[in-house]
Amino acid sequence: MADTDITKTTFETTKPEKTHLQNHFFSPINLQTVPHVTDYLPNLQSFTNPLDHNPFYYPSDGFYVSTSDVILRQIVYDLASSFPVSDPHFAYHRAGPRKEIFFDPSHVRAAIVTCGGLCPGLNTVIRELVIGLWELYGVREISGVTAGYWGFYTMEPKPLDPKLVHDWHKRGGTLLETSRGGFDLQKIVDAIEDHGFNQVYIIGGDGTMRGAVKIFDEICKRKLNISVTGIPKTVDNDIGIIDRSFGFQTAVEVAQQAINAGHVEAESAVNGIGLVKLMGRSTGHIALHATLSSRDVDCCLIPENDFYLEGKGGLFQFLEHRLKQNGHAVVVVAEGAGQDLITRTDAQKEEKDESGNPVFLDVGVWLKSELKQWWERDHKGELFTVKYIDPTYMIRAVPANATDNSYCTLLAHSAIHGVMAGYTGFFSGPINGNYAYIPLAEVAQAKNVVNTKDHKWSWVRSVTNQPDFVKS
Ligand SMILES: Nc1ncnc2c1ncn2[C@@H]1O[C@H](COP(=O)(O)OP(=O)(O)O)[C@@H](O)[C@H]1O
Ligand SMILES: O=P(O)(O)OC[C@H]1O[C@](O)(COP(=O)(O)O)[C@@H](O)[C@@H]1O
Ligand SMILES: [Mg+2]
């Protein structure tokens, strides 16, 4: 029996008396239900979890997670407020092993695929999926799909086993290869059927998850006994709901080296500017966190906060002041920042990559040229240097650091436990530090952008003292 009785959308917590301040806590909880293969195949047989007999994971009390075990999304409340706070009471099923599973391990044929751009930790997730399926559940048929969605219908899958993947966590990139574009729904689902895959682990970012929702919908439509799960990958940290995506911290760490180099170059010149461009197509999380960790940055430019160059409160005025004060300055710019300021043709404005993502002009090259023109115009004859550092791919093409490596393991194990329990169309990720199962459809819509009204952005501004770029 699937444990669907508890997964109804709302349930009331009971408490006889409510004080004014307690009102929020005893109103309905919106439990975000996770689809289950028995939703459309009600007669599926269930099995006892083989972890019952695992010598290393002997299930103690509380080892198995039940469906009433949930994680709240909103954990910060104003007890003095009588108004509902935004996003109140959303709850998600906690990730972890279930007592009852819906796949016989000896009949599992698992497929793993990586899609979109690189991210530190991709190989760790693949490795831990293979080893977790093999060691925890005794699955023996595990395949790697080559080069993203396109590979489903063009390439023969590669058999994977623990011996093959044992040192993959030490390597950057994805040994399965990846790609953008190539999403052909019917061909992908046909290929999944033809290969006999009944568990599909899709590692990717926001674009990949939108594709995964369509694959899941098509599998439901065809009533196939196949579970589909998504594992969040994006170096930009632009996926919503979860605390952060794997590889992000590693990327921020590597970005420090570029900022240090920019700082050294700037300090060693008269009126020196170190300009560092960091990844972040439509979100500035990497630039923001790299700025906060470095403390050598004088100005951080992100897509969420428009800026301007000339006049009062503009970048040039600010840098002029900093150069006078310190003799040098460091500017960090996210690749998606300032795109509206760069002159480009209509054709350039429309340009998209194979996945439909906008293609940007190089904000670093543009800014370097603007800075030089400004200095030449306003300070002719005075020494001035801009050293532009573009570590773009260097920050994502590295192996994961220790924190990201263990995060990848927990993500992989969460995904495996959920899939073995028969959940499908879901995504695993940490919410407030606890791993949860989130419906794929919900996560595919949720975007994580930098909130320039919150404390973190104020912190950046207090560290750098940069202008707010609001024209008065
Ligand atoms: N709306 C969509 N529907 C179906 N597939 C999509 C969609 N958006 C992107 N994809 C596919 O997902 C894969 C990865 O998307 P991409 O945007 O490149 O990277 P990411 O998943 O890291 O954001 C590509 O193969 C792309 O074709
Ligand atoms: O690999 P490409 O196509 O050059 O992509 C570069 C883009 O990939 C990213 O690193 C990550 O993007 P995704 O997470 O969407 O794959 C962006 O920061 C950057 O704009
Ligand atoms: Mg993306």
Q: What pLDDT does residue 27 have?
A: 58
234 is in an annotated binding site: yes
If you take atom 3 of ligand 2, which residue's CA is the nearest one? 117
The rounded distance, in Å, linking the Cα atoms of 106 and 62 is: 27
253 is in an annotated binding site: no
Among 258-262, 274-278, 348-352, 465-469, whose mean pLDDT is lowest? Answer: 348-352
The rounded distance, in Å, linking the Cα atoms of 55 and 100 is: 18
Q: Is 279 touching ligand 2 by the criterion CB < 6 Å?
A: yes
Q: Which atom of ligand 2 is nearest to the CA of 281?
A: 20
Active site residue 404: no
Q: How confident is the model at residue 416 (pLDDT cuts 50, 70, 90)?
A: very high
Q: How confident is the model at residue 349 (pLDDT cuts 50, 70, 90)?
A: confident
Q: What pLDDT does residue 83 have?
A: 54
Query: What is the chain's mean pLDDT, rounded?
Result: 92
Q: Is 168 touching ligand 1 by the criterion CB < 6 Å?
A: no
Kindly provide the residue ranges of all beta strands, DSSP E only, lying in 289-345, ordered along the sequence: 299-301, 328-334
Q: What is the DSSP letter of 177?
A: -
Alpha carbon 402 to chain centroid, angstroms: 17
The rounded distance, in Å, linking the Cα atoms of 360 and 337 is: 10
Q: Which atom of ligand 2 is nearest to the CA of 335?
A: 20
pLDDT tens profile 441-453: 999 999 999 999 9
Q: What pLDDT does residue 85 have?
A: 53
Q: Is 232 touching ligand 2 by the criterion CB < 6 Å?
A: no
> Residue 437 to residues 69, 110, 225, 240, 425: CA-CA distances in angstroms?
11, 19, 19, 13, 10
When the candidates are 3.40.50.150, 3.40.50.460, 1.10.3720.10, 3.90.1300.10, the CATH number that belongs to 256-394 is 3.40.50.460
Identify which has the larger pLDDT, 424 or 85: 424
Is residue 251 predicted with pLDDT exceeding 90? Answer: yes
Q: How confident is the model at residue 56 (pLDDT cuts 50, 70, 90)?
A: confident
Q: What pLDDT does residue 105 have?
A: 97
Q: Indicate which residue of 39, 167, 217, 236 is catalytic.
A: 236
Out of 125, 152, 180, mutate this one to test ligand 1's pocket (max ligand atoms within 8 Å of CB): namely 180
If you take atom 9 of ligand 2, which residue's CA is the nearest one? 117
Six-digit token string for 426? 């879901």
pLDDT tens profile 298-307: 999 999 999 9
Q: What percent of the chain has pLDDT over 90?
A: 85
The CATH 3.40.50.450 portion of the chain extends over: 28-247+400-471
If you take atom 6 of ligand 2, which residue's CA is the nearest one? 117
Q: What pLDDT does residue 313 have?
A: 96
The rounded distance, in Å, linking the Cα atoms of 231 and 252 is: 20
235 is in an annotated binding site: yes
- CATH topology classification for 28-247+400-471: Rossmann fold (3.40.50)
CB burial of 304-342 (b: ≥16 within 10 Å; e: otherwise) equals bbebebeeeebbbebbbebbeeeebbbbbbbbbbbbeee
Number of C-alpha atoms within 13 angstroms, CB side, residue 182?
A: 17
pTM for the whole structure: 0.93
Mean pLDDT over 94-102 rounds to 97
Among 81-85, 119-123, 152-156, 318-322, whose mean pLDDT is lowest? Answer: 81-85
Whether 231 and 201 have beta carbons less than 8 Å apart is answered as: yes
Among residues 188, 102, 123, which one has the least CA distance to residue 152? 188
Q: Is 354 touching ligand 2 by the criterion CB < 6 Å?
A: no
The rounded distance, in Å, linking the Cα atoms of 209 and 230 is: 7
Which H or E run contains 457? helix 455-464
Mean pLDDT over 5-26 rounds to 42
Q: What pLDDT does residue 341 have?
A: 95
> Which phi and psi (to 5°) does residue 209 adopt?
-70, -35
Mean pLDDT over 24-50 rounds to 88
Looking at the CA of 447, which ligand is closest? 3
Alpha carbon 129 to chain centroid, angstroms: 18
Looking at the CA of 230, which ligand is closest? 1
Q: What percent of the chain has pLDDT over 70?
A: 93
Six-digit token string for 409? 């393991």
Q: Is 303 touching ligand 2 by the criterion CB < 6 Å?
A: no
Q: Is 206 touching ligand 1 by the criterion CB < 6 Å?
A: yes
Q: What pLDDT does residue 275 have?
A: 98
Whether 423 and 7 have beta carbons less than 8 Å apart is answered as: no
If you take atom 12 of ligand 2, which residue's CA is the nearest one? 117
Q: Is 182 touching ligand 2 by the criterion CB < 6 Å?
A: no
The CATH 3.40.50.460 portion of the chain extends over: 256-394
- What spacing in Å lies between the alpha carbon of 32 and ligand 2's midpoint? 30
Query: Does this complex have an ipTM over 0.90?
Result: yes
The rounded distance, in Å, linking the Cα atoms of 375 and 461 is: 25
Measured between its terminal Cα atoms, the distance across the chain in Å is 64
Beta pairing partners, 295: none
Among 83-87, 332-336, 364-368, 412-416, whose mean pLDDT is lowest? Answer: 83-87
Is residue 17 predicted with pLDDT exceeding 80? Answer: no
